[in-house]
Amino acid sequence: MVEGEGPDHSRTFTAVLTIGSVPYGTGSGSSKKDAEREAARLTADQISSADGDADILTLVLGRG
C-alpha cells in the first residue's frame, strides 16, 4: 500500500510492505518508488535478522 500526503510540489509517500496479511517494513520518500524501496529494504532486514531456522512461511503464519 502506498499513500501520499502534502502539497503536489512537495509530496511525501509512505509504503507498507505486507506479506500475507502481516505488515513488515514501512518506508517513506519523495517518490512512490523510493518509499517502496525503503519498505522492501526494511522488510529484508527484518527477515534476515530473524532466527536462522525460520523461513518466510513461518514468519508470515506467525509460528515459530
| Ordered per-residue pLDDT tens for the chain, 64 residues | 899 999 989 999 999 999 888 888 999 999 999 999 999 999 888 877 765 555 665 665 555 4
Provide the whole-model pTM: 0.71
User: Look-up: residue for cell 519523495?
Assistant: 30
Give the angle 22-23-25 at the CA atoms, nearest 5°.
Answer: 140
**In the block, which residue shows the cell 532486514?**
45
Measured from the Cβ of residue 42, the count of other Cβ atoms closer than 10 Å reads 16
Supply the CATH classification number for the domain 2-61: 3.30.160.20
